[in-house]
């Protein structure tokens, strides 16, 4: 799969002797988590994994060369059962996903490393990663950080900002910038899980009263959002802005010290 990770920042390219020479208390190891799942008629199954790699690569390229920060190979398969029923979606169970993350972290802990970052680009993984981060802190004493994308995209309309969850303007624009050959611009469809200004308090996400949903409940094409306004120019701009914020966050994680250890 295409990668934008700088080779000198990619842990699997090192030998075990090179890894053994890394300072254990300082080194930050980033575990990318994503998905292989449907993204409508116009985006590839690998959308979340490609965006993860693209943004992380841009962010790592901004980090000072003397900092010991490395990306691991991505965990491509996530908890994607909200998209079951769409051919090509490959989902692992909650327990499998969490066991994989736990075992990777246990391997890093066994080698003496102390700081890991989960960089996630698939919404279905978020809550499980939050739980796993706390569990790893409790079980191994690791300093565990979570990074969820690079923050909000600026300049989106209110409807898309609120409910452009999946294969909408942002994801489509970023792939138009990163892998335009994989975007089928003649196949755009539009669906929204809700509308801004709808009455009532019950919302699909990010509210105090929510309901469980599956994509097929509300989006026959698999899209939740509107890709029509997407442009490569916006994709490059948003990726640049997000990667700057990500790089700043990762550097702060690198310098973080547990207050209880001071």
Give per-residue pLDDT as tens, 176-226: 999 999 999 999 999 999 999 888 899 888 889 999 999 998 899 999 999
CB neighbours of 111 closer than 8 A, spacing ≥ 6? 19, 24
DSSP H stretches of helix in the chain: 16-20, 47-61, 94-110, 126-140, 158-163, 169-178, 215-218, 232-255
Mean pLDDT score, 57-85: 98
In this predicted structure, the answer to whether residue 262 has a pLDDT above a threshold of 60 is no
The pair of structure tokens assigned to 245 is: 């914020």
Q: Which percentage of the chain shows pLDDT scores above 70?
A: 98
pLDDT tens digit sequence for 26-68: 999 999 999 999 999 999 999 999 999 999 999 999 999 999 9
Q: For the chain, what are the domain ranges?
A: 8-261
Instruction: pLDDT band for 261, please (50, 70, 90 cuts).
Output: low
- pLDDT score of 260: 46
Domain 8-261 matching CATH 3.40.50.10310: the answer reads yes
Mean pLDDT score, 152-161: 94
Mean pLDDT score, 77-84: 97
pTM: 0.96
Q: Over the chain, what is the mean pLDDT?
A: 95
- pLDDT score of 19: 98
């Amino acid at each position: 799969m295409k990668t934008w990770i700088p080779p000198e920042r990619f842990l699997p390219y090192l030998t075990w002797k090179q890894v053994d020479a890394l300072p254990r208390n300082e080194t930050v190891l980033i575990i990318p988590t994503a998905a292989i799942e449907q993204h409508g008629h116009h985006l590839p199954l690998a959308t979340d994994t490609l965006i993860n790699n693209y943004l992380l690569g841009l962010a790592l390229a901004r980090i000072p060369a003397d900092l010991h920060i490395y990306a691991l190979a991505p965990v491509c398969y996530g908890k994607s059962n909200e998209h079951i029923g769409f051919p090509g979606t490959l989902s692992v169970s909650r327990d499998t996903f969490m066991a994989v993350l736990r075992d990777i972290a246990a391997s890093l802990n066994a080698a003496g490393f102390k700081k890991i970052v989960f960089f996630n680009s698939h919404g279905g993984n978020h809550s499980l990663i939050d739980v796993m981060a706390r569990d790893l802190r409790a079980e191994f004493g690791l300093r565990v950080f979570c990074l969820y994308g690079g923050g909000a995209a600026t300049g989106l309309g209110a409807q898309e900002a609120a409910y452009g969850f999946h294969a909408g303007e942002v994801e489509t624009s970023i792939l138009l910038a990163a892998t335009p050959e994989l975007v089928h611009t003649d196949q755009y469809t539009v669906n929204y899980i809700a509308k801004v200004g709808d009455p009532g308090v019950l919302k699909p996400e990010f509210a105090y009263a929510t309901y469980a949903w599956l994509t097929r409940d509300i989006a026959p094409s698999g899209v939740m959002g509107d890709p029509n306004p997407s442009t490569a120019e916006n994709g490059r701009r948003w990726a640049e802005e997000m990667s700057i914020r990500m790089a700043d966050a990762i550097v702060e994680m690198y310098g973080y010290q547990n207050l209880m250890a001071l």
